[in-house]
Amino acid sequence: MSDLSFPAGFAWGAATASYQIEGAVNEDGRKPSVWDTYCATPGKVEDGASGAVACDHYHRYQDDVNLIADLGFPYYRFSLAWPRIMPDGVGAVNPKGIDFYNRLIDALVEKGIQPAVTLFHWDYPQSLEDIGGWTHPDAHKWFGDYAETCFRAFGDRVKFWITENEPWCHAFLGSGVGAHAPGNTDLDLCYKVAHGLLLGHGEAVARYRGLNQGGKIGITTNHRYDVPYSDDPKDILATEQSNIWNAGWFLDPIYKGDYADYMKQRYPVPEFTEETSKLVSQPTDFMGLNFYEGSYVRWKDGAPNDAEQVPLHKSGETQMGWFRVPESLKTTLVKSQQAYNPAEIYITENGCAYDYPVVDGRVHDELRVQFLREYMAAARESIDEGVNLKGYFVWSLMDNFEWAFGYRPRFGIVHVDYETQVRTPKDSALMMREIIKANSLVPGLEFARS
């Protein structure tokens, strides 16, 4: 195998999330999620945007499946909307919600595309949030009931399950600093929410194991391993503390059964009982990693974790203000393998936001082409360093609703005209098609030069 080719059977995919693309928020029995409520609150989202229509995927899913097939992706990662399947979060199941996802899954399978399904990608039922949300003593059981409903409905065709997407974001951004739904600003609360998410993950894994459906299940985190700014012992300590908070907050309980001593000494993390520790740390089949940025860390008195983030270098700044740092992806993959030894790792999201126009039916997104090839090369290099990397999912299949940033950032490899809903594959999508076909980065290199 050359340095530019990937192992046989490598899982190439594109990723989306329900609230970001589906629209149809008031159709066929779906009830509000916390993101519907957040978007309706003035000043929370750029330009007052929401996912009410988004990419209208609910009505255009067949065309989108055809597009995924045309681009040659063997996997498609998407999430299920909990309030579409169980509108009140608990109790009655909505048959029209089940029917929609059955149609989508069947369309994918018919095209030979394997569905990779996320159970929770932040659109939490508002009805459950109103009575305590993830901090409620029964929250993990609510999630377990929802998860089991999904496993029973779709598990005959879905063999790749992700329990939760980036629980750090939902806990810290959603309940710690209020930058995401549900919009709470309580740093003590966010650790309770995080604990509830961990218990929910464990409950979902237990329910899946109990059904013996023969697929894979894991969780996706957006953890990162940064590097010290210098060899000063204080910079090294700040980096260690920052990495425990960024990665270990969720991964230590999942892989080791408890929070690190540093987390317990510095933050108000709840305690695990023997029972809940076993629940959360049940073996999973893979580690999912969403990766977007990395930095140096240096000591700063009074800062969170005594850590200040310093750019590795300022190149390729995206619409999100993030820089192009593929070496940080490689570092995170290698350190994740060393720290937790997962049986498999999948990059479940990686991508960048750049805005390029459609000109004569084409989108020449050259910076995204460069970005993706560099990050895929870093991912490939990690395999040579012992990482059990089994797949790469690009974020995102198409431009979509980017949470509090509205529709300004464009992460898609497919351009979406939000007025007409016309989809136009960008050069990055055409490059991905050639890379997937060859299972090698060589076509990407040639594409980048063209």
Residues known to be catalytic: 166, 349
Omega of the bond leading into 182 within 30 degrees of 0 (cis): yes
Q: At what angle do helices 326-340 and 249-256 cross, to 10 degrees?
A: 30
Q: Distance (Å, rounded) from C-alpha 129 to C-alpha 294?
A: 32
Give the residue among 312, 392, 393, 402 at the shortest CA–CA distance from 355.
Answer: 402
Q: Distance (Å, rounded) from C-alpha 326 to C-alpha 377?
A: 8
Tokens representing residue 197 in the block: 């998410």
- CA distances to 226, 296, 405 from 232, rounded to whole Å, are 15, 13, 37
Tokens representing residue 315 in the block: 């190149």
Give the residue among 428, 318, 450 at the shortest CA–CA distance from 376.
Answer: 428
Which amino acid, 171?
A
Residue 323: alpha-carbon gap to chain centroid: 19
Q: Residue 417, exposed/middle/buried by CB under 10 A (0-12, 13-18, 19+)?
A: exposed
Q: Distance (Å, rounded) from C-alpha 439 to C-alpha 80?
A: 29
Q: Are 297 and 229 in contact (CB under 8 A)?
A: yes
Return the number of other C-beta atoms located less than 10 Å from residue 96's C-beta.
Answer: 13
Q: Are 78 and 117 in contact (CB under 8 A)?
A: yes
Return the number of other C-beta atoms located less than 10 Å from residue 326's C-beta.
Answer: 21
Q: Are 375 and 350 in contact (CB under 8 A)?
A: yes
Q: Residue 196, exposed/middle/buried by CB under 10 A (0-12, 13-18, 19+)?
A: buried
